[in-house]
A and B are shown apart, each in its own frame.
Chain A
Amino acid sequence: MTPPLAPLAMPAFTATSAMGTGLAATREALHARRGGLAPCDLPGMPEGIWVGRVPGLEEVALPESLARYDCRNHRLAELALRQDGFAEAVAEAAARFGAHRVAVVMGTSTSGIAETEAAYARRDGDGALPPEFDFTHTHDLYALPRYLRARLGLRGPAVAVSTACTSGARTFLEAQSMIAAGLCDAAVVGGVDTLCRMTLHGFNSLELLSRGACRPCAADRDGISIGEAAGLALLVRAEDAPEGTVALLGAGASADGHHMSSPHPEGLGAIAAMRAALEAAGEAPGEHGVDYINLHGTGTRANDAMEGNAVRALFGDRVPCSSTKGWTGHTLGASGALEAVIAALCVADGLVPGCLGVETPDPGFGVDVAVANRAAPVRRVLSNSFGFGGSNLALVIGRT
């Protein structure tokens, strides 16, 4: 078969979610086991649900020259890139490789659709949308990578990935292919998704929303809490970063080919994606250097049961696993990128974060679900993302 793609170093990364703006706050919340979910106070949302809302987005201002991109999603992107010296690290990469050699590959499921939802409420007597509504620079999926490319002064390829809840993770694999194919020397990857009515009412229509803070992997789990987040990473060839920099070691993707919104019950697609990621990370079958699995773990009955089966099939009960969605909620197209950043923090800190708010993990999984934080050497993290349309993606994050 094909030789695996070379690992890519992550010399800069950042995350902003309900549990914290930037890495320091995220790290603090993980160690202190302080989640960011709260009862939903946004107007026009389903009754009695909890969400993971990023505080202060309403006050974030985009640069004046990019004002036409103004919407909740790009405000979150803007807030995120200001943290942890991320924009500065990208500027350094652009100076080193040339702005045209740095790509932007961004994942989102709904982009700035909240702007369209608001515009629908302001339709005129003929049903036309208000003149100030700018579809192309807000709702359109391409708006997110275009905004970041312009904001960061880059001139490389811009790519908008939208594979539902695997979008953010998939950008890492796209960037790996692009760098291997010689299209660019560095890539800004990640995902940004924000709370909107379509998503919340959509999951409500599927009767998948929890009535409290979601509790993935709990025996009595009762559904998802939706959140919003931005996860961003700068990827370069391993030789272009200091030795020991945390890296994307491998990525694997698969399709279920089973159903649009229900996972394959045995998790065949999930197993295929995890296996592909492990192979891409250079692991021989049966020899697993993985010390922690960050589950997709949404908190629905079906997803978590499927994922438990899939993890058990590959690892038995040998590797501790957990979902961090109890802190952030399910941040959809951003979740894979957010959790790749969390994985990098777990490697740096030697942390296995235990599921929040879970007393009894589902005994049916037959895997080692961590429900309290554990301090342990974490060299490699396997991070899972699964989405509607039967889309599966797994990343291996760690040290080379």
Chain B
Amino acid sequence: MRCGIIGVGLLGPGLPGWAASRAVLAGEAPWELGEVPLLPPAALPPTERRRTSAAVRLALAVAAEAASASGLPPDGMETVFASSNGDGAVVGSILEALHTPGGAISPTQFHNSVHNAAAGYWGIATGSHRASVSLGGHDDSFATGLVQAAAAVVARRVPVLFCCSDAPLTPPLDGRRPTGAIFGAALVLVPGDAGTVLSVEMADRAEPASAGALGPLMAANPAARALPLLQALAAGRVARIGLPLLDGGAVVLGVEPGAA
């Protein structure tokens, strides 16, 4: 499958946005840990804005950066949101509440606990009526999410905003599913060869791609499996990126920088 990348969004420790992180990703500046700024999404009405958690703010921030960079109207793109943990903090808080006497849980938390909460808030923020899908995938979330996004672009000839993000779970679940940092990345994918050409293929096996100095971050968050691709995009270089999957097989990405 081939498509074009025409917009990128990024947030992570020491990576405060795609434009601000290109030098670090290209290896031209050192990676220094820093706070991840997670602002309430300005596009949401105040009631909804207050209800957004870190996981939703993260997803909407990277999605908005990528959409804005693409130059396409944000309500004109289908969306694919991939996340291993979803809103783990909300789910954790509901699990706690279920084990208190009475077991009453908050209705707002309940509707925020669905895996497509970020997608729902994105729809409200942009006024988009376009199709949207939310995917899980554990450590394969980035790879399988990107495959589904590329399949939508290739099969239905539509622009797709792909967003992959994860925030840590809360105790005690984080003991079983450690996520060491917040990380989110987003790509706007379009049919044809616009922007940087991305190929996405399934393979029997592949050498796992390395994120170099950012390796610890790549290991700490499933969404950070995006780093080798982001590094190739930042450096503007041709790359072949192997993403082995949990149960065998692999996704292999090819990057060909555009003529521009």
Q: Which A residues form the contact surface with B (CB < 8 A)? A: 2, 5, 44, 100, 109, 111, 113, 116-117, 120-121, 123, 127-129, 133-136, 140-143, 146, 149-150, 155-164, 170, 173-174, 176-178, 180-183, 197-198, 201-203, 205-206, 252-261, 268-269, 272, 276, 387-391
Contacts and interface: CB of A to CB of B under 8 A. Distances in A.
A109 B1 contact: no
A313 B34 CA distance: 53
A390 B120 contact: yes
B150 interface: yes
Contacts of A123: 172
**What are the 5 tightest A-B residue pairs by CB atom distance, in nearest-first order?**
A141-B136, A389-B120, A253-B131, A202-B110, A162-B115
Given A129-B176, A198-B98, A255 B152 contact: no
B259 interface: no
Contact of A177 (B75, B86, B144, B148): B148
B94 interface: yes
Given A202-B113, A391-B116, A258 B124 contact: yes
B69 interface: no
B195 interface: no
Contacts of A254: 129-131
Contacts of B6: none
B236 to A, nearest CB: 27
B112 interface: yes
A127 B173 contact: no
A391 B204 CA distance: 34
Contacts of A202: 94, 105, 107, 110-111, 113
24 contacts: A5-B155, A100-B249, A117-B98, A129-B172, A142-B136, A142-B140, A142-B246, A158-B144, A160-B144, A173-B133, A174-B151, A177-B156, A178-B148, A180-B155, A198-B98, A201-B103, A205-B107, A253-B131, A253-B132, A257-B129, A260-B117, A260-B121, A272-B129, A389-B117
Contacts of A205: 104-107, 110
A116 B95 contact: yes
Interface of B: 1, 48, 51, 75, 84, 86, 91, 94-96, 98-99, 103-107, 110-117, 119-121, 123-124, 126-138, 140-141, 144, 147-148, 150-152, 154-158, 171-173, 175-177, 202, 204, 245-249
Given A149-B247, A202-B94, A388 B116 contact: yes
Contact of B1 (A162, A182, A252, A260): A182
Contacts of B148: 159, 174, 177-178
A146 B127 CA distance: 35
Contact of B95 (A160, A174, A198): A198
Contacts of B127: 257
A280 to B, nearest CB: 10
Contact of B144 (A157, A181, A390): A157
A111 B136 CA distance: 11
B123 A140 contact: no
Nearest to B141: A142
A255 B131 contact: yes
Contact of A158 (B75, B107, B114, B247): B247
Contacts of A198: 91, 94-95, 98, 105, 110, 113
A257 B126 contact: yes
Nearest to B98: A197
Contacts of A261: 107, 111
Contact of A163 (B106, B132, B175, B204): B132
A121 B51 CA distance: 28
B123 A389 contact: yes
Contacts of B114: 109, 162-164, 387-389
Given A163-B116, A260-B120, A100 B135 contact: no
A184 to B, nearest CB: 9
Contacts of B137: 141-142, 159-160
Contacts of A174: 133, 148, 151
For the complex, would chain A's binding face be called helix, strand, loop or mixed by DSSP majority?
A: mixed
A140 B85 CA distance: 8
B116 A162 contact: yes
B138 A136 contact: yes
A258 B48 CA distance: 11
B110 A206 contact: yes
Contact of A120 (B95, B110, B129, B155): B95
A206 B107 CA distance: 5
Given A162-B116, A256-B129, A257-B127, A183 B175 contact: no
A149 B140 CA distance: 15
Nearest to A251: B131
A100 to B, nearest CB: 7
A180 B152 CA distance: 9
A371 to B, nearest CB: 31
Contacts of A121: 99
Contacts of A157: 144, 147, 202, 249
Contact of B246 (A146, A252, A390): A146
B115 A116 contact: no
A155 B140 CA distance: 15
Contact of A181 (B1, B104, B248): B1
Contacts of A178: 148, 151, 155
A390 B135 CA distance: 16
B55 to A, nearest CB: 13
B135 A140 contact: no
Contacts of A143: 138
A165 to B, nearest CB: 9
A294 to B, nearest CB: 20
A309 B94 CA distance: 34
A44 B158 CA distance: 46
